[in-house]
Amino acid sequence: MPKFVDPAHRREVIADAVFDIVLSHGFSRVSLRAIAEETGLAIGSIRHYFTTAEGIVRFALETLVERVSSRLEERLEALLPALESGTLSSDEAKARTADFLAELLPLDGVRRRESVVWLAFEEEARTQPDLADVFETSVRGTRALMARTLENMDRRGVLRADLDLELEADSLAALIDGLTLRSTLHPDVLTPDRAKVVLSAHLEGLRG
């Protein structure tokens, strides 16, 4: 067996196996044996990259957060220049902003998968302090992102004048979380597409 293996890639493969298991069987079914079966590796091999089972979960969560937040930042960096340039019509700018926030909704397979796993880890982190701090920063981050987005809209003068931006930030963050929760865990009751319509309508309601 070869020696030239990229350890970072191996860890990612293992993290993906964790995601698959969480997705199809739930967090409680994640075990070294399940990961071994999922990846085709032997338990001993996995333990070569992670000394403890706890470490695997921890790493998987960090991987998840990193993927989501980096994709979000990517979209943000594509959005901001377009908005600042001033070449967009008001309607276009609003639609772009809505699309950006909709990035957090489970609108395709990738995001649905991430949403499911995210929720599973979020619940798990409640009683596992080791994981909790990762979410702490993340949840505050989305809250801050909402505030920034609203401030940006406000500077462009597209918001009603009577709005409490801090309040609207909490509201928007909660709405998106709720839309994600419902369309992820109960897609029959609220389809992801419907969730996006609701989000767009909410933003529309903030317009001045």
Question: Contact letters (x/-) for DNA, 9-48, by CB under 7 A?
Answer: -x------------------xxxxxx------xxxxx-xx
194 binds DNA (CB under 7 A): no
- Torsion sign (Cα): 137, 155, 194, 20: negative
Please name which of 197, 184, 189 lies closest in space to residue 111, comparing C-alpha atoms.
184
CB of 58 or CB of 194, closer to DNA = 58
Question: Cα(first)–Cα(last) distance of the chain, in Å?
Answer: 66
DSSP single-letter state for residue 27: G
Please name which of 98, 75, 93 lies closest in space to residue 157, comparing C-alpha atoms.
93
How many other C-beta atoms can be found within 10 angstroms of the C-beta atom of residue 24?
Answer: 10
7 binds DNA (CB under 7 A): yes
* Least distance from DNA to the Cβ atom of residue 128, Å: 13
Residue 146: alpha-carbon gap to chain centroid: 14
89 binds DNA (CB under 7 A): no
CB of 42 or CB of 144, closer to DNA = 42
List of residues contacting a second copy (CB under 8 A): 24-29, 116, 119-120, 122-128, 135-136, 139-140, 143, 164, 167, 170-171, 173-179, 181-182, 185-186, 188-190, 194-195, 197-198, 201-202, 205
In one-letter notation, the amino acid at residue 149 is T
* Least distance from DNA to the Cβ atom of residue 116, Å: 20
